[in-house]
Amino acid sequence: MNVHFLIIPLYQNNTIMAKLQKSKDKREALVKATICLVNNDGFHAAPMSKIAKMANVSPATIYLFFESKQDLVNKVYLEVKTAFSAYAFETFTTNMEVEAGFELIWNRIADFKLKDPDEAMFLAQCDNTPMIDEPSRQEGIKHLQPLLDLWHRGKEEGVIKPISDYLLYAYSINPLSFLMLAQHRGECSINEQTITEAYQAAWDSIKL
């Protein structure tokens, strides 16, 4: 059996890595700038020139990473949504009891919103406006499948009310987004106690 090696000189490898990293840094800076500006001004009041300036990059450079402004926000949305879902379901397994699973996921979602408030805020705005195009929105929704599955099982087992997924979503998950919004506007502050109270209310509203 022959074993082949691809031999790359160390100095070259290093520069390639450094190169890739620099490129990644720029892209990440653009993503962060987009989230920040869209959160504060809204999609259409966040011009490409401003996004570029905040990311310390030329407007033209944006088009090396993204096809258009619409493509930029679509991609940012999908990436943030993916990170959000990964975090929400990270410690969840499908063999859990429904109530335990719900509590776990609910708290992970709350954690995410505390940990990355800007990303959470951005998602809330994407989900509430005609800012993201339909295919990307559909793609983003798919990531919540584990939660939908859990709800379906909960309904079959008679643990949660036989109401629609939208109602379940509205009563258990969505209110957190409203709180985030209020916090962003400086009208309230989310802390340990708020989170606990919110979970209690969430469970009370959906349990059978």
Site track for its own copies across 62-101, x = CB under 8 A: ----------------------------------------
One-letter amino acid of 108: R
Cβ atoms of 179 and 194 within 8 Å: the answer is yes
* 3-state class (DSSP) for residue 198: helix
Could you give the CA distance from residue 14 to residue 1 in angstroms, rounded to a whole number? 31
- Contacts to DNA from residues 31-90, by CB under 7 A: 44-49, 56-64, 68-70
- 61 lies in the site for its own copies, by CB under 8 A: no
Cβ atoms of 122 and 140 within 8 Å: the answer is no
- 164 lies in the site for its own copies, by CB under 8 A: yes
- 145 lies in the site for its own copies, by CB under 8 A: no
Q: Which does 120 bind (CB under 5 to 8 A by kind): DNA, its own copies, none?
A: none
Q: And the tokens for 61?
A: 């450079």
- Which position among 23, 40, 49, 56 is part of the footprint of its own copies (CB under 8 A)? 40
Angle at 25 between CA 20 and CA 29, to 5 degrees: 150
Site track for its own copies across 118-137, x = CB under 8 A: ------xx--xxxx------
